[in-house]
């Protein structure tokens, strides 16, 4: 794993977003560096998911700038946006596997959607098998999602994300709803993916244990701004009451 502090893969500056009278983001700033695991923590409703939606073009901010891999995400055409999205992997909270498709078909789906990135590939089986091997689940290739445990579904969803070889992975509450042992497996997997592929990861989590293990750096989102940032060690030993509230066990 090597973090390149010279190279920002995401740069967010002075981001504002409100819905009616609800001011969700009030000048939020963030940089994600190449090869870094950045954890963002914020209470429910603090604007974490709104920030992610702005980042990938699902919401338009009221003002501010967002650059992903050097490209301006706010003034971008549909085709270029779709192309950038092939370099961004998502792991959603509920795994979001297609119930009517086998594990193999779930993994083939993004390959079919992004034919341009994988033109010339006629046999997808090696790519599917490699992605499942990376998450330790090759034996599930012909199972249906209902035959998998919650932790296995999360790992298959991660394999589906990895199959597109993204440069950036966005994890939305990756350990929510999992028991402690399965959570640890997912966290270990995230670390191993960072080491193997040198991905840059943005991790939204409430899980203090997850943050402790995975974060190279953390940002605490309070009142719509990046209230504090630093290593887990720095932030967890702060005397600021707003920061301490995140680390109460």
**Can you list the positions of beta strands (E) in the chain?**
4-19, 22-34, 37-42, 63-68, 71-72, 88-91, 168-172, 200-204, 217-222, 225-230
For the chain, give the mean pLDDT.
Answer: 89
Cβ-Cβ contacts under 8 Å for 42 (sequence gap 6 or more):
48, 220, 221, 222
- CA separation for the pair 152, 213 (Å, rounded): 21
pLDDT above 90: percentage of residues in the chain: 47
φ/ψ (deg, to 5) at 93: -55, -45
Find the mean pLDDT for residues 121-134.
Answer: 87
Beta strands 63-68 and 217-222, pairing class: unpaired
Find the mean pLDDT for residues 50-77.
Answer: 90
The reported pLDDT for the residue numbered 11 is 96
Is the confidence at residue 42, as pLDDT, over 60?
yes
Is the confidence at residue 1, as pLDDT, over 60?
no
- pLDDT bin (cut points 50, 70, 90) of residue 120 is low
Is the confidence at residue 63, as pLDDT, over 90?
yes
Structure tokens at 99: 């119930």
Length of the chain: 249
Contact (Cβ atoms closer than 8 angstroms) between residue 114 and residue 123: no
Higher pLDDT, 158 or 120: 158
The reported pLDDT for the residue numbered 95 is 63
Is the confidence at residue 115, as pLDDT, over 80?
no
- CA separation for the pair 218, 3 (Å, rounded): 14
CATH class of 8-241: alpha beta
- pLDDT bin (cut points 50, 70, 90) of residue 47 is confident
The reported pLDDT for the residue numbered 132 is 93
pLDDT digits (tens, 9 = 90+) for 152-200: 998 898 888 888 889 999 998 888 888 888 888 889 988 888 888 889 9
Find the mean pLDDT for residues 110-116.
Answer: 74
Is the confidence at residue 94, as pLDDT, over 70?
no
pLDDT digits (tens, 9 = 90+) for 222-247: 999 999 999 999 999 999 999 999 98
The alpha carbon of residue 22 and the mean position of all alpha carbons in its chain are separated, in whole angstroms, by 25
- CA separation for the pair 210, 189 (Å, rounded): 12
- CA separation for the pair 130, 162 (Å, rounded): 10
Residue spans of the domains in the chain: they are 8-241
């Amino acid at each position: 794993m090597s973090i390149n502090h010279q190279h920002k893969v995401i740069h967010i500056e002075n981001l504002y977003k409100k819905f009616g009278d609800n001011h969700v983001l009030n000048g939020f700033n963030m940089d994600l560096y190449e090869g870094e695991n950045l954890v963002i923590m914020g209470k429910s409703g603090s604007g974490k998911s709104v920030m992610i939606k702005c980042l990938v073009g699902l919401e338009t901010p009221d003002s501010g700038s967002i650059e992903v891999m050097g490209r301006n995400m706010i003034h971008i055409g549909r085709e270029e946006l779709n192309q950038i999205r092939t370099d961004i992997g998502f792991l959603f909270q509920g795994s979001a596997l297609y119930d009517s498709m086998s594990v193999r078909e779930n993994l083939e789906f993004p390959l079919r959607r992004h034919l341009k990135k994988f033109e010339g590939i006629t046999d997808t089986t090696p790519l599917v098998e490699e992605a499942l091997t990376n998450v330790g689940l090759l034996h599930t290739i012909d199972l249906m999602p209902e035959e998998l445990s919650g932790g296995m579904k999360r790992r298959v969803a991660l394999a589906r994300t990895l199959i597109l070889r993204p440069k950036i992975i966005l994890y939305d509450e990756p350990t929510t709803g999992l028991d402690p042992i399965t959570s640890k497996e997912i966290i270990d997997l995230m670390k191993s993916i960072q080491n193997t592929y040198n991905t840059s990861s943005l991790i939204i989590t409430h899980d203090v244990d997850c943050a402790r293990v995975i974060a190279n750096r953390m940002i605490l989102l309070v009142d719509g701004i990046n209230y504090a940032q630093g290593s887990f060690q720095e932030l967890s030993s702060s005397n600021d009451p707003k920061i301490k509230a995140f680390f109460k066990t």
